[in-house]
Chains A and B, each alone.
Chain A
Amino acid sequence: MSARGELPGWADVALIPALNLIVALLVSGVVVLIIGENPLEAMWIMLKGAVGSIKGWGYLLYYATNFIFTGLAVAVAFHAGLFNIGGEGQAYFAGLGATVVGLSFEFLPWPLLIPLAILASALFGAFWGFVPGYLQAKRGSHIVITTIMFNFIASSLMVYIINYWLRPVGKMAVESRAIGSFDFQTFDLTGAYIPSFRELTLAIFGYRLPSTPLNPSFFLALAVAWGVWYFLWRTKLGYEVRAVGANTDAAIYAGIRPQKIIMVAMAISGGLAGLLAVNEVMGAQHRLVLEYVQGAGFVGIAVALMGRSHPVGIVLAALLFGLLYQGGTELSFAKPEINRDMIVVIQGLVILFMGALEQTFRPWLSALLFKAED
């Protein structure tokens, strides 16, 4: 029997998120109003900044690429009944994998080196997810606590590694040296360098796109989203992951070992978060920069919540957050009163309504819909 507050599928998938988003935007509007700006104008600037130009779209999709990876990471863990808060640290640590492999095997041709560096990103991220998974499975240490702690460990460890091992002598900025280069005139690609779409179109068609960091990692993100769907719903291991998450007792009865699944799911989750390094380290910054993840790991939690842990939903939610990020940046340029911190407030409100308060309108909407069906 269905529970009170149950909704038809379409309402669950589309109406609730839309409603939450509208409320979040309304509340944000009130905040903007309080600091003496016109909310409609602010909204217009945001929208125009994100989707009103090719450049805006470029940034939007570039941000979305990050969020797809981290959103998928959170979702896979969710399906196993685990709350992985450590996407931030896993992605950060993965940057080390991309950089170390990229720099150590610089001599390899790019068709070999780029896949190798992508693999290294995933593996380093997977390792950083696996360890808390192991501690949960074998020692019962709660995954939420350990993944948060691992974010801090990653943060400190990376400061040390970048500063003392990777930073070129004499360089002031805390970052590694460049992991490669691309010359669009000669199509000369060296190292684990993924050229941006701007560089690629320039090299191939001679057409100059506006300057954005958007690069082919976006397609990798879409492919990985499909892969996650396939894994969860079309493979035996994915079935076991969902079984453990949905009902551990039933999984044990079926001969599935939850401990194994917890470790596997956390490794996969960490690996997905690690792919963020492909977009950022290999595709955008082309070097390992201090604190390069910039909160994308945490945004992934909101993206997964909003996307209902389904890859399609996650891609859509990631696009929305990409829009907020890019639009917010434009807004802070256009309106000095609405500074960077205000943008964070607005994004926070969206996360609050989409994630934490996502059930708020459910009973009310359910009552309304069932009444309407009379």
Chain B
Amino acid sequence: MTPAQDTPAIELIGIDKRFGPVHANKDVNLTINQGSIHGIIGENGAGKSTLMSILFGFYHADKGEIRVKGQPLRIKSSSDAIAHGIGMVHQHFMLVDTFTVLENVVLGAEGGALIGPALAKAREALAHLAQEYDMDVDPDAIIGELPVGLQQRVEILKALFKGAETLILDEPTGVLTPDEADHLFRILGQLRDQGKTVILITHKLREIMAITDRVTVMRRGEVVANFETKKTSVEELAEAMVGRRVLLHVDKGPAKPREVVLDVRNVTWKDKKGIARVDNVSFTVRAGEIVGIAGVSGNGQSELLDVISGITRPTSGEIIFEGKSIGELADPRHLREEGLAHVPEDRQHRGLITSFDASESAILGWHYDESLGHGFRLDRGKVVNRTRKEMEEFDVRPANPLLKSGKFSGGNQQKIILAREIARDPDLLIVGQPTRGVDIGAIEFIHKRLIHLRDQGKAILLVSVELDEIRSLSDRIIVMFAGKVMGERDATANERELGLLMAGVNKEAA
């Protein structure tokens, strides 16, 4: 670690922020040393993102002071923040897909009516930055055609180009492959060595341990602990995060698989360009077992889920669910009625409707059910009561069915969805990324729930890009690569073997 310099890069003093009844930040004090990588961890809803949004000028703190290099500042907007050398890389990139890398980098710093001179200057600066930090990007590539890892690099370059001394990264590895994440960490290390300050918001303990110098733990809007990374451990951090010891390992007994519930036979799905995104996939899922589909994000898992849940139709092949062809049912609603429940990968855009209140999201897909009102009516009282019960059972916080769905943290949103999907006692549960962006406490809860369902004799198909999750939950593991099934292993398969399959290397076939 670089020795702490005299004045800290950023000081947050007594930051306090409320959103109506939600106290997002309670009297937060935080000091970030210059030339260091500072991690901020906490469960979803712990207030990390709010705090950084205040620093970057998206929100205004109700109380408190921000000091940059010792100077008290009022940051009214993100342009103020940028002017004071603070850059932010958002979880969802702020890039124009149809622009080139160069055009994106100068975005917001065009400096005049004519774009030419700015572009020429930026090209030079970009080449310089790329060399300095080993971040090679073709300045003339179109953003939309670049892989996610490179897009993120462009975001970092953009911040540096605008003179960022302090770089905030919000959950940067959520969208990256392990390889890309490693590269990102190398870049962050170089940035630190050049004297830049990096703030890393994450809930992945491993990342914190791997690259940070210091780490701040937040819980329920408060800073609960500060550690020097070298002097702490994963267990200690996890405990500080959730306030008690958590099981990172899932306890489960052996599976007792019974009859085949889902039989996927030679399913292929081609996109508009005619590329097979799901390529001749076959497998079965039995009652009483969890089948995990592992693979790096974007290798056909999402498309496979869409096909099985009836959202899209396969180009060829057949899916048999409890003896019936899905081709005949072919409609999410009928499939749901037949006992197929689906926790979608994309919570925010599919699983619920963020502008609806929680009780309305909690009936999505079952809203037409007679138990919620006779005939055409939707009985508000019944809807709210049902949701309240589900919220209590699943420990959703806050247990307020009238709060807008978008105001719940990721973990609580996921609990609402899971509660909804298993409430009707389905025979098959398809789960996509059950714990993406979910805090540790909720992960444990969701994992236990899935095992419990398995032990009740449900068939579960689990798709996750978290290999640990697949390994700890699944009874059988299917690895997908480039739309194809690379191989099937049992739960005892070692990480290295699975990793090779995920990378498209099949030793048996070779």
Tell me the complex Cα distance, A238–B376, Å.
9
Interface residues of A in 3-25 (CB under 8 A from B): 4, 6, 8
A344 at the interface (CB under 8 A from B): no
Q: Are B376 and A254 in contact (CB under 8 A)?
A: no
Q: Are A1 and B19 in contact (CB under 8 A)?
A: yes
Q: Known interface pairs A1-B50, A254-B367. Does A236 touch B376 (Cβ–Cβ under 8 Å)? A: yes
- B345-366 interface bits toward A, Cβ cutoff 8 Å, 1 = contact, 0 = none: 0100111111110001001110
B313 at the interface (CB under 8 A from A): no
- A255-275 interface bits toward B, Cβ cutoff 8 Å, 1 = contact, 0 = none: 110000000000000000000
B368 to A, closest residue via Cβ: A236
- B362-382 interface bits toward A, Cβ cutoff 8 Å, 1 = contact, 0 = none: 011101100011001111100
Q: Are A239 and B367 in contact (CB under 8 A)?
A: yes
Q: Known interface pairs A238-B378, A239-B367, A374-B63. Does A250 touch B19 (Cβ–Cβ under 8 Å)? A: no
Q: Are B349 and A250 in contact (CB under 8 A)?
A: yes
Q: Are A235 and B378 in contact (CB under 8 A)?
A: yes
Tell me the complex Cα distance, A72–B320, Å.
46
B471 at the interface (CB under 8 A from A): no
A156 at the interface (CB under 8 A from B): no
B311 at the interface (CB under 8 A from A): yes
Tell me the complex Cα distance, A245–B210, Å.
44
Q: Which of chain A's residues have a CB closer than 8 A to the CB of B394?
A: none
Q: Which of chain B's residues have a CB closer than 8 A to the CB of A6?
A: 19
B342 at the interface (CB under 8 A from A): yes
A26 at the interface (CB under 8 A from B): no
Q: Are A8 and B352 in contact (CB under 8 A)?
A: no
Task: Name, among A234, A236, A240, the residue most crowded by chain B CB atoms within 10 Å (CB to CB).
Answer: A236
Q: Known interface pairs A1-B24, A373-B62. Does A254 touch B377 (Cβ–Cβ under 8 Å)? A: no
Q: Which of chain A's residues have a CB closer than 8 A to the CB of B310?
A: 255
Q: Are A370 and B62 in contact (CB under 8 A)?
A: yes
Q: Which of chain B's residues have a CB closer than 8 A to the CB of A240?
A: 367
B332 at the interface (CB under 8 A from A): yes
- B52-92 interface bits toward A, Cβ cutoff 8 Å, 1 = contact, 0 = none: 01000011101100000000000000000000000000000
Q: Are A234 and B24 in contact (CB under 8 A)?
A: no
Q: Which of chain A's residues have a CB closer than 8 A to the CB of B63?
A: 374
Q: Are B333 and A250 in contact (CB under 8 A)?
A: no
Report the minimum CB–CB distance from A365 to chain B (whole Å): 13
Tell me the complex Cα distance, A370–B363, Å.
34
- A101-129 interface bits toward B, Cβ cutoff 8 Å, 1 = contact, 0 = none: 00000000000000000000000000000
A231 to B, closest residue via Cβ: B376
Tell me the complex Cα distance, A254–B20, Å.
31
Main secondary structure of the interface of A (DSSP, over half): helix
Q: Are A250 and B378 in contact (CB under 8 A)?
A: no
Q: Are A250 and B376 in contact (CB under 8 A)?
A: no
Report the minimum CB–CB distance from A81 to chain B (whole Å): 11
Q: Known interface pairs A253-B344, A255-B332, A367-B60. Does A236 touch B19 (Cβ–Cβ under 8 Å)? A: no
Q: Are B365 and A255 in contact (CB under 8 A)?
A: yes
Report the minimum CB–CB distance from A254 to chain B (whole Å): 4
B62 to A, closest residue via Cβ: A374
Q: Are A253 and B342 in contact (CB under 8 A)?
A: yes
A183 at the interface (CB under 8 A from B): no
Interface residues of A in 202-261 (CB under 8 A from B): 233-240, 242-243, 246-247, 249-250, 252-256
Report the minimum CB–CB distance from B43 to chain A (whole Å): 14
Tell me the complex Cα distance, A243–B357, Å.
12
Contact of A2 among B333, B364, B407 (CB under 8 A): B407
Q: Known interface pairs A236-B373, A243-B364. Does A250 touch B380 (Cβ–Cβ under 8 Å)? A: no
Tell me the complex Cα distance, A268–B4, Å.
67
B336 at the interface (CB under 8 A from A): yes
Contact of B356 among A4, A246, A249 (CB under 8 A): A246
Q: Are A255 and B336 in contact (CB under 8 A)?
A: yes
Q: Are B367 and A236 in contact (CB under 8 A)?
A: yes
A373 to B, closest residue via Cβ: B62
B36 at the interface (CB under 8 A from A): no
Q: Which of chain B's residues have a CB closer than 8 A to the CB of A247?
A: 349-350, 353-355
Contact of A243 among B53, B59, B353 (CB under 8 A): B353
Contact of B377 among A235, A252, A253, A373 (CB under 8 A): A235
Main secondary structure of the interface of B (DSSP, over half): loop
Tell me the complex Cα distance, A234–B375, Å.
11
Q: Are A253 and B351 in contact (CB under 8 A)?
A: yes
Q: Which of chain A's residues have a CB closer than 8 A to the CB of B336?
A: 255
A252 to B, closest residue via Cβ: B311
Q: Which of chain A's residues have a CB closer than 8 A to the CB of B353?
A: 243, 246-247, 250
Tell me the complex Cα distance, A240–B356, Å.
12
Q: Which of chain A's residues have a CB closer than 8 A to the CB of B342?
A: 253
Tell me the complex Cα distance, A243–B50, Å.
28
Q: Which of chain B's residues have a CB closer than 8 A to the CB of A371?
A: 60
Q: Which of chain B's residues have a CB closer than 8 A to the CB of A374?
A: 62-63
Contact of A239 among B58, B62, B354, B360 (CB under 8 A): B360
B387 at the interface (CB under 8 A from A): no
Contact of A250 among B350, B363, B379 (CB under 8 A): B350
Q: Are B407 and A1 in contact (CB under 8 A)?
A: yes
Q: Are A250 and B364 in contact (CB under 8 A)?
A: yes
Tell me the complex Cα distance, A1–B342, Å.
26
B331 at the interface (CB under 8 A from A): yes
Contact of B311 among A8, A246, A253, A370 (CB under 8 A): A253
Q: Are B356 and A242 in contact (CB under 8 A)?
A: yes
Q: Which of chain A's residues have a CB closer than 8 A to the CB of B373?
A: 236
Tell me the complex Cα distance, A373–B352, Å.
32
- B298-341 interface bits toward A, Cβ cutoff 8 Å, 1 = contact, 0 = none: 00000000000111000000000000000000011110100000
Report the minimum CB–CB distance from A107 to chain B (whole Å): 35
Q: Are A250 and B59 in contact (CB under 8 A)?
A: no
Tell me the complex Cα distance, A326–B378, Å.
40
Tell me the complex Cα distance, A253–B58, Å.
32
Q: Are B332 and A254 in contact (CB under 8 A)?
A: yes
Interface residues of B in 402-420 (CB under 8 A from A): 407
Tell me the complex Cα distance, A8–B18, Å.
12
Q: Known interface pairs A236-B367, A255-B365. Does A250 touch B351 (Cβ–Cβ under 8 Å)? A: yes
Q: Which of chain B's residues have a CB closer than 8 A to the CB of A373?
A: 62
Q: Which of chain B's residues have a CB closer than 8 A to the CB of A234?
A: 377-380
A243 to B, closest residue via Cβ: B353
Tell me the complex Cα distance, A22–B131, Å.
57
Q: Are A255 and B333 in contact (CB under 8 A)?
A: yes
Tell me the complex Cα distance, A249–B354, Å.
12
Q: Which of chain A's residues have a CB closer than 8 A to the CB of B356?
A: 242-243, 246
Tell me the complex Cα distance, A313–B141, Å.
49
Report the minimum CB–CB distance from A55 to chain B (whole Å): 42
Q: Which of chain A's residues have a CB closer than 8 A to the CB of B352?
A: 250
Tell me the complex Cα distance, A302–B369, Å.
37
A8 to B, closest residue via Cβ: B20
B268 at the interface (CB under 8 A from A): no
Report the minimum CB–CB distance from A238 to chain B (whole Å): 7
Cross-chain pairs A/B with CB under 8 angstroms, 18 sampled: A1-B49, A2-B19, A2-B407, A4-B58, A233-B380, A236-B368, A236-B378, A239-B363, A243-B353, A246-B356, A249-B346, A252-B311, A253-B342, A253-B344, A254-B332, A254-B365, A255-B334, A255-B336
- Shortest Cβ-Cβ A-B pairs, 8 listed: A255-B333, A254-B365, A255-B332, A253-B350, A247-B353, A254-B364, A2-B19, A246-B353
Given contacts A253-B309, A253-B351, A254-B364, 17 further A-B contacts (CB under 8 A): A1-B24, A1-B53, A4-B59, A233-B380, A234-B380, A235-B377, A236-B378, A239-B363, A246-B355, A247-B355, A249-B349, A250-B350, A253-B332, A253-B350, A253-B365, A373-B62, A374-B63
